[in-house]
Amino acid sequence: MTDFPGTTGLIFNEPLLWEKGKKGRTGFSLPRRDVASYPLDESITGDGPDFPDLSEVDVIRHYIRLSQWNFSVDSGMYPLGSCTMKYNPKTNERQASHPGFAGAHPLLPPHLSQGILQLMFELEKFLVEITGMDAASLQPAAGAHGELAGMLLFHAYHKSKGTPRSKIIVPDTAHGTNPASAALCGYKPVPIKSNEQGVLAPKDVAQVMDEETAGIMVTNPNTLGLFEENVKAIADIVHAKDGLVYCDGANMNAVMGIVHMGDIGIDVLHLNLHKTFSSPHGGGGPGSGPVCVRNQLEPFLPVPRVIQKDGHYLLSIDFPQSIGKLHAFCGNVGVLIRAYSYVASMGAENLKKASQLAVLNANYIKEKLRGTFHLAYDRPCMHECVFSDKYQQIHKVTTLDMVKRLMDYGFHPPTIYFPLVVPGAIMIEPTETESKENIDLFIDSMNAIANEAKENPDLLREAPKSAKRRRLDETAAARKPCLRG
Ligand SMILES: *Cc1c(COP(=O)(O)O)cnc(C)c1O
């Protein structure tokens, strides 16, 4: 096992800063005083909080050690299906921290914010071109927020025609946020099943689509990592009843520059800039989930919108049919700068290539591990592939046991038990940024674990062996977090 990278590092123990402190230590030195000293008021110098006294070395080691308890895409492969944990080029960070951007206040008047307004204007154009849609709003702060925006747009569209609708079709392979966003907007989600090939059948949509139904939410590629090949036929069925088609485009990483969403009948699409367009994410940090729309929905987009007038960029709220404001100011602007930097530094050809490599890498893993692990749907996949623990169940080893063991081999576990339509699912998304060597190491590790499942199943049940924390009660960890060291 020592041959695998990331597995032999030291694991540091680290006490709380309060336990490390020693009276009289200090982490700073003040410059020589050049004014007379002056006694402070007792009420300021009295008993303050009991902060520990620490040296600079104490503090630096403390935080560096804590940071090493974490796994990140900068420390190793992170094949977390559906989350697109690709490596994020550091140039994006550099652009976002440019003082002209980082120091700009959102209340600056437009004539002092031409640079950032131009960037947002052009980013909308980039996203529209990449997706094959007509207009975009950068306001939504995450994928799920983009979905809510999409549902509000659906509602505004039908309301403008004098016929608001009450239901929405949501397939079982949609991301869990889809029915939640629809319900939050007041729609009743109508579930439909995917067929035995893992995709939607037009006849199943035709059966439930009626004049009370606002439309359908499809995730494409879907959460099984499969392309919804009937989406055009489905869009025709929905449009025939004046319904609209929403596409959850969080998986756009598989199809950039390849699928023209407008041409396949999509009316609204959200993107996850923090996934496909390369911003660090996870742990609830800021995200961005722009919505892209076809022409007929543009009047309803959120305000303010960036417009160009006489060679200047302005923020306009002059869109009377708009669904209104969805986020303070203009959204999470730092993520927008990173996405702009990513798109501009990649260029059209390389974005397409990134998608091709993401798909190639996932299919390579699928082909190499088939036979060892049960393949849920035996057909070419997009950017992720889904296995299950069916073959390992005879040794009473579960998906959870195996992915916990993967941590001992130096990899972040894949997504598990999702999508729900595959019992014991293991959903692997390598992304385009992993080299063949890294992917081969991952495959070797998965094979080694499958062998351990046969020969030493107890070992897997106790995994991970080398992690700082082993098997947490995940519910209690979320509900009653223990914040001590
Ligand atoms: C990640 C994801 C979402 C939700 O995005 P958030 O930014 O986490 O709200 C929605 N749909 C799919 C398919 C996703 O992968």
β-strand partners of 385: 428
pLDDT for the residue numbered 10: 64
Rounded distance from Cα 272 to ligand 1 centre (Å): 7
Q: Tell me how far the alpha carbon of residue 341 lies from the centroid of ligand 1, in angstroms.
A: 22
| Residue the block writes with tokens 């509602």 | 155
Q: Is 144 in the pocket of ligand 1 (CB under 6 A)?
A: yes
Q: How far is the CA of 219 from the centre of ligand 1 (A)?
A: 10
- H/E run at residue 367: helix 333-369
pLDDT of residue 474: 82
**CA-CA distances (angstroms) from residue 127 to 130, 277, 280, 339?**
5, 10, 19, 10
Spacing, Cα 42 to ligand 1 middle (Å): 54
Of 270, 298, 290, 301, give the one whose Cα is nearest residue 335: 290
CB 168 within 8 A of CB 213: yes
Contact 243, 151 (CB under 8 A): no
- pTM score, whole prediction: 0.92
Q: What pairing do the DSSP bridges indicate for beta strands 213-219 and 244-248?
A: parallel
pLDDT of 2 reads 47
Closest ligand 1 atom number to CA of residue 219 = 13
Instruction: Select from 226, 227, 272, 277 the residue to mutate for testing ligand 1; criterion: most ligand atoms less than 8 Å from CB.
Output: 272
Instruction: Say yes or no: CB of residue 181 within 6 Å of ligand 1.
Output: no
Q: Is the CB of 248 under 6 A from ligand 1?
A: yes
> Cα(first)–Cα(last) distance of the chain, in Å?
29
Mutation to probe ligand 1, out of 80, 82, 170, 277 (largest number of atoms < 8 A from CB): 82
User: Is 276 buried (19+), middle (13-18) or exposed (0-12) by CB count in 10 A?
Assistant: buried
Please report, for residues 150, 178, 334, 468, the alpha-carbon distance to residue 147 in angstroms, rounded to integers and kept in the order given.
5, 7, 21, 37
Instruction: Report how far ligand 1's centroid is from the alpha carbon of 146 (Å).
Output: 9
Q: Is 300 left (phi over 0), alpha (psi -120 to 50) or beta?
A: alpha
Please tell me the residue having the least CA distance from ligand 1 atom 15.
Answer: 82
- 343: part of which helix (H) or strand (E)? helix 333-369
Give the pLDDT score at 5.
Answer: 61
On whether the CB atoms of residues 205 and 237 are closer than 8 A, the answer is yes
Indicate the SS3 state at residue 375: strand
Q: Residue 6 C-alpha to ligand 1 middle, in angstroms?
A: 28
Verify whether ligand 1 is closer than 6 Å to residue 170 (CB atom). no
In 358-416 the beta strands, taken as DSSP E runs, fall at 374-375, 385-388, 415-416
Q: How many CA atoms lie within 13 A of 464 on its CB side?
A: 17
- H or E stretch covering 214: strand 213-219
Residue with tokens 């059966």: 207
Distance (Å, whole) CA 338 – CA 119: 11
Nearest CA to ligand 1 atom 2: 250
Could you tell me where the DSSP H helices lie in 132-211?
Answer: 143-160, 177-184, 202-208
Q: How many whole angstroms from 81 Cα to the centroid of ligand 1?
A: 11
Q: Give me the pLDDT at residue 49, please.
A: 75
- Ligand 1 atom with least separation from CA of 84: 15
Strand partners of residue 308: 313
d(CA 207, CA 209): 6
Distance CA 472, CA 402 (A): 15
CA–CA gap between residue 141 and residue 334 (Å, rounded): 11
CA dist 222 and 228 (Å) reads 7
> What is the radius of gyration, based on Cα positions, of the chain?
26
Minimal-distance CA residue to ligand 1 atom 6: 143
Rounded to the nearest whole angstrom, what is the distance from the C-alpha of residue 246 to the centroid of ligand 1?
A: 14
Average confidence (pLDDT) per 10 residues, the chain, 485 residues:
57 86 91 89 73 94 89 93 96 96 93 97 98 98 97 98 97 91 96 95 98 97 95 98 98 97 98 95 87 98 96 97 96 97 98 98 98 96 98 98 94 94 97 97 96 97 88 87 71
Helix (H) or strand (E) holding 168: strand 167-171
Q: State the pLDDT at residue 4.
A: 62
Instruction: Say what angle helices 143-160 and 177-184 make with each other, to 10 degrees.
Output: 40
For ligand 1, say whether the CB of 279 is within 6 Å of any of its atoms: no
Distance 48 CA to ligand 1 centre (A): 45
Q: How far apart are CA 327 and CA 217, in angstroms?
A: 23
Pairing of strands 305-309, 268-270: unpaired
Helix residue spans in 52-139 (DSSP H): 56-67, 90-96, 99-102, 114-131
Domains, the chain, with CATH or none:
91-345 (3.40.640.10), 354-479 (3.90.1150.10)
Neighbours of 361 (CB within 10 A): 26
For ligand 1, say whether the CB of 289 is within 6 Å of any of its atoms. yes
Positive or negative: CA dihedral 220, 175, 214, 154 = negative
Tell whether the torsion through CA atoms of 308, 309, 310 and 313 is positive or negative. negative
